[in-house]
Amino acid sequence: MAFDSMSKADFARLTGLDGNSKYRRELNPDLWKPTEIYAFAIQVGLWDGGAKRLDSLADLIEHLPEFERKIILKAGLLTKDKLQIRRQDSNSWLPQELEKLAAWHRQNAIHVSRTFATGSAKTTKRQL
């Protein structure tokens, strides 16, 4: 079922949102919350539920070395306070923050200490 051809009633049934939310989200995709996207994707068979890495993104950023964390926070238009909020509620990520982080990530490598994952002091490249 394509989103464009979906009726308001079908959209409301699948998402639990009111029918007018479909129209508002078509006009402004930034209104989608991550949990709404996951739920909708599951309902229409586009996501198998196998991974939801957005839940761990703030933790991964938090455990980067200070120098790299500052670069990534700046690239994503984030502050330490905003990152703390994202750690507490992964549904609070704003689409523009994720877009900025994704754009930065496409152009840059991230070097993190393996201490976070393995206890070893060796440095390696890691994908977020």
Domain boundaries, the chain: 1-52, 54-125
pLDDT greater than 50 at residue 13: yes
Distance CA 57, CA 73 (A): 12
Phi/psi at 125 (nearest 5 deg)?
-85, 145
Tell me the whole-structure pTM to 2 decimals: 0.61
How many other CB atoms are there within 10 angstroms of residue 112's CB atom?
18
Q: What size, in residues, is the chain?
A: 128
- Residue 127's SS3 state is coil
Distance CA 98, CA 44 (A): 23
In the predicted model, what is the mean pLDDT of the chain?
80
For residue 43, give the H/E element and its range: helix 34-43
Phi-psi region of 45 (alpha: psi -120 to 50; beta: other; left: phi over 0): left
Tokens of 61: 């950023």
- 42-77: pLDDT as tens digits: 777 777 665 567 888 899 999 999 999 999 999 999
Neighbouring-strand partners of residue 111: 125
pLDDT category, 34, cuts 50, 70, 90? confident
Give 65's contacts (C-beta < 8 A, 6+ positions apart): 111, 112, 113
pLDDT greater than 50 at residue 23: yes
pLDDT greater than 60 at residue 14: yes
Residue 49's pLDDT is what? 62
For residue 88, give the H/E element and its range: helix 80-88
- 103-125: pLDDT as tens digits: 888 888 665 554 444 444 444 44
Residue 120's pLDDT is what? 44
Residue 16's pLDDT is what? 85
